[in-house]
Amino acid sequence: MRNKKSSFGKVLFLIIFLGILGGVGFVFVSPIFEKEAPIITFKKDIYWNLKESLDLKIDDNSGIKYYKVVFKDGANETILKNEVLKEPLKSVDLKIVPPQLDIFFKSKEVQIAVEVVDNSKWNFLEGNRASETFNVKIDTKKPVANVVGNSLAIRKGGSAVAVVEVFDDNLEEAYISFNNDEETFELIPFYKENYYVSLIAWPVTIDDFEQVSIIAKDKAGNITKNKIPLYIRPLKAKNDTIKISDNFIKNVSTSVLEQSNEPIPEELEEVFIAQNRLLRAKNVDIIKKDSRKYMDRSAITSFDIKPFSRLSGSRTAAGFAEKRHYYHNGSKIDEAWHLGIDWASVKHATIKATNPGRVIASKYIGIYGNTIIVDHKMGLSSLYAHTSIAKINVGDEIKTNQVIAKTGTSGAVLGDHLHFGVLVQGVEVNPLEWMDKNWIKTRITDVLDSAKKVIDTK
């Protein structure tokens, strides 16, 4: 009997032991007993204007059962969110709305305390708990953004200048906006601290002029927008009809596409469109990006720019802002703006620099062919396209009257000539303005000089 009872006891003990072991194992491996605390995601270094909501996210694999968000200002605590979820969720996105504060609230820094409990059965069925406290800087004041001086007017396809005052303790960005950010222009430090200058362009490809503004935003989301007053002037665009031959497409368009590593369509008209429309857009974008990336952003105290000179001994073969309408076998197949001035002289004519500057590009750019871009500071640069031989290298500091290249036939051209362009932060503008001594004085340098006098009185 004793042996039987002893054997039964051992079996019972083994069953209980295995049961306990299995239970413990189940607790450790079962998803309902997961041990990971919820993850709280909230932006670091937070600035809050107490107007807009803040984004807070909570994640947990077993589901979120409860959360609470508390606003602490040192003296008081306000519960902003407090919820027990009927159905646990694996992810919760919260919009943290600012509390109602009285007019005497002056705190510059508060805390957002977040507490979360998940739906796990771990921790004696209480679940995993996470809590974090985030420091939040309060900034309800808008940046200062004033117009100190600007050109009187701007013409379609042309340029203007503006000097502005911008400052804020938590400034994030400031820029010039053309037509509600249809085009934007960087600010460059000017003369004294908190003052900036920017050349502005009205791209000829934008028909309607709405408004030019100085925009300043701080890290808390406060925004100041002030209009830059500019009279607008129309541009008389010339319309040109250009007949495109099969030979041009086969010999020029195809070659340009090949050198640009672009696919060659089967149909002749599609080949021309690929070169004239699609590749052109890419080339214009490259010029803009290079000009903006490498432009000199050093502070401007004075701006001594001479009127650009035409290619020596040349005639004008095409002007700025000519609207070209292209025909093939009697049918219109495309159109495009001509964004510079074409000067034709003898083959391989010498190209000299009118103004000193730094070479920021010297490379093959599709329809423009071998192209040189020279930066002259303040966002102004000059462009020399279709060249044959470059006499400079990227990074060179060039001087007035220095030979920089020879004219040629590279790119989408019929004959040897120079395409000369003037760029404002990468946007091609009317070179005739920058070839006019009086225009430069009255529209640019006089404005800068007047702005200095205003700044000196402050």
- What pLDDT band is residue 27 in, cutting at 50, 70 and 90? very low
What is the per-residue pLDDT for 30?
Answer: 45
Which residues partner with 327 through β-bridges? 243, 332
What is the per-residue pLDDT for 405?
Answer: 97
What is the per-residue pLDDT for 124?
Answer: 61
What is the per-residue pLDDT for 29?
Answer: 42
- pLDDT exceeds cutoff 60 at 197: yes
- pLDDT exceeds cutoff 50 at 69: yes
Report domain extents, the chain.
31-138, 144-234+447-456, 238-429
- DSSP string for residues in 77-145: EEEEEEEEEEEEEEEEEEEEPPPP--TT---SEEEEEEEEEES--TTTTT--EEEEEEEEEE--PPPEE
Percent of the chain with pLDDT over 90: 84
What digits encode the pLDDT tens for the residues 412-423? 998 999 999 999
What is the per-residue pLDDT for 12?
Answer: 52
CATH architecture of 144-234+447-456: Sandwich (2.60)
What is the per-residue pLDDT for 167?
Answer: 96
- Identical topology for domains 31-138 and 144-234+447-456: yes
What digits encode the pLDDT tens for the residues 32-62? 558 789 999 998 789 999 999 999 999 998 9
Residue 311: CA count within 13 A, CB half-sphere: 29
- Region 225-238 average pLDDT: 94
Pick the CATH number of 31-138 from 2.60.40.730, 2.120.10.30, 2.40.50.100, 3.40.50.970: 2.60.40.730
Cα–Cα dist 264/155, whole Å: 38
CATH fold for domain 238-429: Glucose Permease (Domain IIA) (2.70.70)
Cα–Cα dist 375/422, whole Å: 10
What digits encode the pLDDT tens for the residues 323-367? 999 999 999 999 999 999 999 999 999 999 999 999 999 999 999
What is the per-residue pLDDT for 21?
Answer: 46
> In the predicted model, what is the mean pLDDT of the chain?
91
- pLDDT exceeds cutoff 60 at 11: no
